[in-house]
Structure 1
């Protein structure tokens, strides 16, 4: 049985660190993976392009984007880089690029999977780009929706795209915060009783799916005739790696959650606790299990999103060690 190739899981476009054997030891190359073939990997480092023979590679992994400023990694990352990372934590069913804008669609299941994410210049006049996006969503029978992000407290009408959209009669919907934390500082799982531990699965069991769907009106009933339910399953199982968490008491599942791993970050989604079990430590235990899973994978940072109006959830996450990185608002037309 041959050892796995350390670079098999890497893809061009990733920021990586690759360790290779040299005459008197080993050396690391850190940078953007720009090309790879059967024999070599090419990495653009700050010193220039490095081409490495794959037979000399001893270890390789994806690393987070280069920090935009000094400080803790989960805070130093730029808003644009974090928004880009979060796309693969909640990947849309369909995506298309318009210059630096990303158009996402998924049968209307969540704004994150069904909105335009402006990450740069669209390459054409903004008004024309908006028209192009509207036509794209019209073809799919979806609402016109843009996700506009900025620093905490930013105003939509201070954002150039935001002003343009407001001029097209778009209206703000659902302001949300992006919170981040250092995984090393997050509490571990603390079971609430003997044998009561969170179960983690690489794909959602039917019990996990039925439990979550029963609590989420967007996908109930979760059957094949429900396009949103089908899109939800695709979205939640299409990250590079993900785990589905569930906590059971007395023979019933009382809490579920999902964590996705992409670009050396962990993202937490769909934390749901049965109403009668809220404020009993269920969410804390679920979050502890997800943090443990991230630590086991060597993931240094974690993010999640929460609506600004959800004060109980915000308080919970802040007690765990999360802090606000930036915020975003949907503009719907």
Structure 2
């Protein structure tokens, strides 16, 4: 596998980071038919501190274009790009839940978006789930947040078949072309997405796998604290199942390890069967599950894509 840097920072040769175990448990043993990435959801016990830390990391990795605070809630709007960027982060308490929901409806109506609240096992206040049921908010997009020790991940990726991985400091046109063929956030929601990524305050790297001279897969990594966040993983249909995603991930892991990261996290939708098999085999383990509660009455705005 060949790693090429297209900017001043190189993906570099592979280095195994000294893995720090804090916050990352050993992955559960998998068995036939078992989904190794199925995480605890609402009503289940989770690692509260780690779950809150990961939600904070994800917020910085996808900063909204506009936000408004209602008590402990963060109302986010990003021109329809991604559900995370256009939903409420219920991170803290509100003094009056009914009033807060009215604020949510008004905020998103003004933005031309469907009122949406991201729900995790650590969302507050108590009673939010029943209130959303009563207010006509549906439940969609279940997604599992998973973590891995970076040193272990690097070792598992050492078996990647030879491939050329190009690393970019910013979004190159070729990277964007591949992402746009697979991910709606880089296709019909491209304008908002590029504005979001221009607002990043954490270090980022863009990886692209090239097979036989043709770009076939991409991914985005963010480095925050001692964490590598893995985002925007996409492989064109004709190249799937050939190790392209593993090559992209290996490039991001090498970069993050060189930068001092010791842990990795990612989000994988419940319906992404192939991705779940890959990440489970690489040693990721689930921490918690989130979903989006959307008001069932649309306001004429665009539907937004996952995450």
Contact (CA 8 Å) 1:189, 1:289: kept in 2 or not?
no
1:219 deviates by: 4.3
Query: What residue is the counterpart of 1:25 in the other structure?
Result: none
Q: Distance in 1 between matches of 2:286 and 2:142?
A: 13
Deviations 1:293-324 (CA, angstroms, capped at 9, x unpaired): 11111112111101112222111101111000
Deviations 1:121-174 (CA, angstroms, capped at 9, x unpaired): 12x2011001111111111111110000018xxxx9x96211111110110011
Query: What residue is the counterpart of 2:69 in the other structure?
Result: 97
Q: Distance in 2 between matches of 1:242 and 1:189?
A: 23
Deviations 1:187-241 (CA, angstroms, capped at 9, x unpaired): 2465633xx32111110111111221122345436xxxxxx31111122343311
Contact (CA 8 Å) 2:179, 2:186: kept in 1 or not?
no
Matches within 5 A, 1:172-187: 172-187=139-154
| Structure 1 runs not aligned, ≥5 long | 1-70, 222-227
Larger relative contact order, structure 1 or 2 (CA cutoff 8 Å, min sep 6)? 2
Q: Distance in 2 between matches of 1:332 and 1:137?
A: 11
Q: Distance in 2 between matches of 1:216 and 1:78?
A: 28
User: 4+ residue runs of structure 1 moved beyond 6 angstroms?
Assistant: none
Q: CA RMSD in A?
A: 2.1
Query: What residue is the counterpart of 2:247 in the other structure?
Result: 285
How does the TM-score come out when normalised to structure 2?
0.76
Q: Distance in 2 between matches of 1:249 and 1:202?
A: 21
2:135 counterpart of 1:168 = yes
Q: Distance in 2 between matches of 1:218 and 1:73?
A: 30
Query: What residue is the counterpart of 1:192 in the other structure?
Result: 161
Q: Distance in 1 between matches of 2:217 and 2:186?
A: 17
Distance 1:332 1:243, change over 3 A: same
SS at match of 1:147: strand
Query: What residue is the counterpart of 2:22 in the other structure?
Result: 72
Query: What residue is the counterpart of 1:112 in the other structure?
Result: 84
- Match 1:245 to one of 197, 203, 207: 207
Deviations 1:98-132 (CA, angstroms, capped at 9, x unpaired): 2211111111111111100111112x201100111
Q: Distance in 1 between matches of 2:187 and 2:55?
A: 29
| Structure 2 runs not aligned, ≥5 long | 1-20, 26-46, 296-307
Q: Distance in 2 between matches of 1:236 and 1:271?
A: 15
- Match 1:202 to one of 156, 169, 179: 169
Q: Distance in 2 between matches of 1:276 and 1:234?
A: 30
In our comparison, the structure showing a higher alpha carbon Rg is: 1
2:111 counterpart of 1:149 = no
Query: What residue is the counterpart of 2:219 in the other structure?
Result: 257
- Number of residues of Structure 1 aligned to a counterpart in Structure 2: 249
Contact (CA 8 Å) 1:189, 1:292: kept in 2 or not?
no
